[in-house]
Structure 1
Amino acid sequence: MPAEPEFDDLFALPAVDHPAPKERFPAKETMPDAAYQIVHDELLLDGVSRMNLATFCTTWVDDQARRLMNESLDKNIVDKDEYPQTAELESRCSRMLADLWHAPDPATTLGTSTTGSSEAAMLGGLAAKFRWRKRGGTGTPNFVCGPVQVCWEKFARYFDVEIRQVPLRGDRLTMHPDDVAAHCDANTIMVVSNFGQTYTGLFEDVAGIARALDDLQAGSGLDIPLHVDAASGGFLAPFTAPDLVWDFRLERVKSINSSGHKTGLAPLGAGWAIWRTADDLPPELIFDVDYLGGSMATFNLNFSRPGGQVITQYYDFVRLGRLGYTRLQEAIYRVAGHLADGLTAFDGFELIHDGDPNRGITAVCWRLTGTPGFNLYDLSDRLRTRGWLIAAYPLPPDRGSETVMRAVIRHGFTHDMVDLLLADIDRCVRQLASHPLKVSLTRAEAGGFTHNAKAKVPGAKPAATTHPDSTG
């Protein structure tokens, strides 16, 4: 094809003189600089990730991590024969996490990296299902849990396992130990304890749940393992609440999943599944692949994926160590506490989680009290005009129609940014109080655009501006 004419200004090129391709595969080539500019400009409409307090995922990485990611773009982590050192770094990370989470013998336990904690959770569930079947389990398997991230609902549906979610009684916001046994039977493959609940950020009482299962076994003979979903808490409690017992120090905990790309500080695409001992991961789940140049073991739901996230996770472990992680995570908790303190100055805000490291992750969760003339959907909507993305959503159905807001504080969010946020919250609250919104449309009624105001249309319910599970 003839070369495009040369111009001094990129924006005078023919390639940017017409709309970007949207529905049909483009017929012609485009100069790299022009193609880059088109995509770059489209992405200006995205939100600013560091102002997204709905996500749990890493939004800040240092220059060295970026360099390692760039150097590893072409490394396929599943190809362990061609990239043996990348495979070695993955193994080192697994052993380090087994040590961090107090596995009996970190050198021999088994673990794997994944694309995130959701895949890691499903691998933990699959291992529990296969162990149950190996013990002679028949019929439809089930697992017991409280309010959980959507990945567990996916696991139940995709792998034909019944999910038994314990209702939240009274003023409870997490699954309590005294509610667990009533939902267990001979077909229960595991109980999933949530160490950093998606809705509120609170920790469940893992040790108490383990004791309840010990009592159940003593009374009925049912030996039900415990899996800990430590998507965020797994990289927090070991450094900021080391005396809190939730991990492999509890013999009943057979597996843990966590997300390296959340509080583990790795870039997006890093998760971990670790088993207490090698015997807790059924060998029939591990595949030996020999068509990439050598024999290698793999246990994942996908196959090819980039190795940069694992390499960068190892870099984080080497750079920070226990001392550095403790220093950074404690700093994040202090920022969360600063936000919680600021929110207490607002009339009508009641804190559910104030960022206490012994109670939950680095998040602040609150609800409205009284009748201020607006709801939390309104506030979330108004804050978006200032660039802040903060989740507002209903609690699980057994808590009625109660709505909460949750801000997840991550590495890179500072005291000064909290002050900016509090000033904007004050501005938005004053504006909503002075100029109450008149109508409330559901997402469907708004044609995909949600205008969340105080409900005055009969039967209209505001849709969550950000679903609590839309966090990666």
Structure 2
Amino acid sequence: MTLENPAVPYGDAFLRASAPDGRLPDAGMPASEALRLIESEMVLDGIPERNLATFVTTWMEPEAVQVVTDNLARNYIDHAEYPQTAEIEQRCVRMLGDLFHAPGPTTGTRTQGSSEAIMLGALSLKWQWRRRREAAGQAADRPNLVFGADVHVVWEKFCRYFDVEPRIIPLRPDKLTIGPEDVEPHVDEHTIGVAAVLGTTFTGHADDIAGIDALLGRLRAERGLEVPMHVDAASGGFVWPFLHPDTPWDFRLASVRSINVSGHKYGLVYPGLGWLVFRTPEDLPDDLVFYENYLGKRDATFTLNFSTGASMVLAQYYTFVRYGHEGYRGVMEVLQANARRLAERIVATGHFELVGDPGAEQLPLVAFRLKEADRAYDEFDVASQLAAERGWMVPAYTLPPNADHTTIMRVLVKRSLGHSLAETLAADIAQACATLDVKGGLHELDRRRVKTGTGY
């Protein structure tokens, strides 16, 4: 039986045709059909609550969601029209400056994730280095930036985009962070700064930031080298102040001049929101600030982007006033406890060993790898089996040079992975290995290297 009038089907029009692609459709469709079309496409994506690969927040309170939805039409950059949004942004900057022990008044900005924050922070390092060189009558060409291979790829992007030599310190299988002994051979008068990581994306541990600060202080005293440090605290900036408050990594260290942190990671806000905070206003070069007369108000802007939504800035302020210091500490303690329990359960399967020092300070995550054994499968197979059987998104990936022959798995413990689900995940990992023991691997063991997403 065919429909006499195909224009009035017994169902949605999108069910009878491919999704529009390549050109705008000649005619639109009812709002309900457009909604159903997009909903049907999204079922192919993973479930965010089972996404244990990326650091970004996958759950917020209903009241926070209301803050987001109520302000979707508000453009953050329009300070003349939305002056209170601008004020709330600066409240957040001041709160972060205090959390990171800024010695006095500070300055900073919200950004589109930590990628933009890192670009801006690194630009300030380059501009300040050039100013010092020119003031001393020295050539300001051939700048370099020192960082470890444990950084996010955005640091390499900065160097390529802004013509800075990257001096990348390789990792080792037995050393997956960097310290002063690694940094010193790479620093010279052309070094614009050193980037250190608080909570690496690979194992969740921190570089020896205090040790690097001591080295830079010694080089300043002995050789007259003025080399500042930027701390990439994208993941750790909302963890260390609450779980490890006595560990100096921030503006308590004299060499630390700027810090970035991702509000959309352990800051408990949906993507994408980053923050850049300077030690003092003088650490932001004046010629990186643009003053523009827009919509009747003269504003100062220090961002690579212009128009962007205000929702996540307001959501960040919501989390600050909602949780406070005590609430953030409570959340992080729960995540840490669940991560430790999950690590115990994974090791107890007998198949895996933890990567990195389990007793060291780290993010609430579990990095692990298969024990050496005569197996017909590897970590990539375990990850695929978990996805196929239960829909868990647990990444497997190789480490950077010179540890790139090591493959690990990693579970991010967020608020969406409570105690019960963590127990279930551990059991599912054990079951995945039991299944692979019987049927063998899903792929060839010699496969391409992959990198996991990190949500910058």
Question: Larger RCO: Structure 1 or Structure 2 (Cα < 8 Å, ≥ 6 residues apart)?
Answer: 2
Is the 2:235–2:261 contact (alpha carbons within 8 Å) kept by the matching residues of 1? yes
Letter aligned with residue 72 of structure 2 = L
Listed as ranges, the matches of 1:310-329 within 5 Å are: 310-329=313-332
| Counterpart pick for 2:416 among 393, 412, 416 | 412
State the alpha-carbon separation in 2 of the partners of residues 298 and 34 from structure 1.
41
Q: Could you tell me how far apart the structure 2 residues matched to 1:30 and 1:131 are?
A: 55
Query: Post-superposition shift, 1:338?
Result: 1.1
Among candidates 326, 351, 361, match of residue 359 of structure 1: 361
CA-CA distance at 1:33 after TM superposition? 0.3
Map of 2:394 onto structure 1: 390
Matching residue within 116, 119, 123 for 2:113 = 116
Which secondary structure state, in structure 1, belongs to the residue aligned with residue 43 of structure 2?
A: helix
CA distance in structure 2 between the partners assigned to 1:299 and 1:195 by the alignment: 24
8 Å Cα contact 1:177/1:209 also seen in 2: yes
Distance, in Å, in 2 between the alignment partners of 1:29 and 1:168 is 54
Q: 1:116-135 counterparts in 2 under 5 A?
A: 116-135=113-132
Residue of structure 2 equivalent to 1:53:
52
**Aligned residue number for residue 185 of structure 2:** 182
CA change 1:87–1:135 in 2 (3 A) is same
**Contact 2:263/2:274 (CA < 8 Å) preserved in 1?**
yes
What's 2:431 paired with? 427
Q: CA deviation at 1:352?
A: 1.6
State how 1:336-355 maps to structure 2 within 5 Å.
Answer: 336-353=339-356
Task: Find the aligned partners of 1:211 and 1:347 in 2 and give their Cα distance.
Answer: 41
Please state if 1:79 is matched with 2:63.
no
Q: Partner residue of 2:244?
A: 241
Q: Which residue pairs with 2:443 in the alignment?
A: 452
Q: In angstroms, what is the RMSD of aligned CA positions? A: 1.8
User: CA 1:239 to 1:155, structure 2 compared with 1: closer, same or farther past 3 Å?
Assistant: same
Higher mean displacement: 407-416 or 241-250: 407-416
2:102 matched residue in structure 1: 103
1:327-338 correspondence to structure 2 within 5 Å: 327-338=330-341
Paired with 1:379 and 1:62, the residues of 2 have a C-alpha distance of 33
What is the identity, as a one-letter code, of the residue corresponding to 2:343? A
3-state SS of the aligned residue for 1:65? helix
Q: Distance in 2 between matches of 1:297 and 1:355?
A: 45
One-letter amino acid of the structure 1 residue matched with residue 400 of structure 2:
P
For the 8 Å contact 2:263–2:269, the answer to whether it is kept is yes
Asked if structure 2 preserves the Cα contact closer than 8 Å seen for 1:75 and 1:308, the reply is yes
1:16-95 alignment runs, 5 A limit: 16-95=15-94
State how far apart, in whole Å, the 1-side matches of 2:259 and 2:121 are: 7
Give the gaps of 5 or more residues in structure 1.
Answer: 438-450, 456-460
For residue 279 of structure 1, the aligned residue among 279, 282, 290 is 282
Q: Is the 8 A contact 2:121 2:276 kept in 1?
A: yes
Q: Rate the CA distance shift 1:435–1:177 in 2: closer, same or farther, 3 A.
A: same
Inter-partner Cα distance in structure 2 for 1:312 and 1:410: 18
- Is the CA contact (8 Å cut-off) linking 1:452 and 1:463 kept in structure 2? no
In the alignment, does 2:379 pair up with 1:376? yes
Distance 1:306 1:432, change over 3 A: same
- Distance apart, 1:25 and its partner CA: 1.7
Give the 3 Å change call, closer, same or farther, for CA 78–400 of structure 1 in structure 2: closer
CA distance in 2, matches of 1:94, 1:452: 48
Conserved? CA contact 1:377–1:462, under 8 Å = no
CA distance in 2, matches of 1:154, 1:231: 16
Q: What's the counterpart of residue 448 of structure 1?
A: none
Tell me the CA shift for residue 453 of structure 1: 3.6
Shift of 1:424: 1.1
Secondary structure of 1:122's aligned partner: helix
Structure 2: runs of 5 or more not aligned: 1-5, 134-138
**Amino acid corresponding to residue 364 of structure 1 in structure 2:** V
Q: Find the counterpart in structure 1 of residue 136 from structure 2.
A: none
Residue identity matched to 2:268: L
Deviation per residue, 1:121-151 (Å, 9 max, x gap): 1111000000001001511211101121011
1:14 corresponds to 2:5: no
C-alpha distance in 1 between matches for 2:235 and 2:311? 21
Shift, 1:184, TM fit: 0.6
The letter of the residue matching 1:468 is T
Deviation string 1:393-432 (CA, Å, 9 cap, x unpaired) is 1111211411111111112210111111111111110111
CA contact 2:264–2:272 (8 Å) conserved in 1: yes
1:468 counterpart residue number: 452
Residue by residue over 1:319-345, the C-alpha shift from the partner in whole angstroms, topping out at 9 and shown as x without a partner, is: 000000000111111111111010111
List per-residue Cα deviations over 1:157-188 (Å, max 9, x = no partner).
11111111112246111112211111011110
1:253 aligns with 2:256: yes
Q: Which amino acid aligns with 1:375?
A: D
Residue 427 (structure 2) pairs with residue 436 (structure 1): no
**Deviation digits for residues 377-401 of structure 1, max 9, x if unmatched?**
1111111112111111111121141
Q: Match for residue 209 of structure 2?
A: 206
Change (3 A) 1:131 1:210: same
Of all paired residues, the percent bearing the same amino acid is 43
Q: Quote how far apart the aligned CAs of 1:452 are.
A: 3.5
Q: Secondary structure at the match of 1:94?
A: helix
Secondary structure class of the residue paired with 2:140:
coil
1:247-306 deviation line (CA, Å, top 9, x unaligned): 000011000000000000011111000000011000111111212231111111110000
* DSSP-derived class of the 2:225 partner: coil
Q: Distance in 2 between matches of 1:91 and 1:355?
A: 37
Q: Is the partner of 1:181 in helix, strand or coil? A: helix
Q: Give a deviation string over 1:343-367, Cα, whole Å, max 9, x none.
A: 11122411025776x5211111012
For 1:373 and 1:190, how far apart are their aligned partners in 2? 46
Go from structure 1 to structure 2 and tell me whether the alpha carbon gap of 1:282 and 1:31 turns closer, same or farther (over 3 Å shift).
same
Q: Which amino acid aligns with 1:343?
A: I
Taking the aligned partners of 2:37 and 2:12, their CA distance within structure 1 comes to 12
1:168 matches 2:167: no
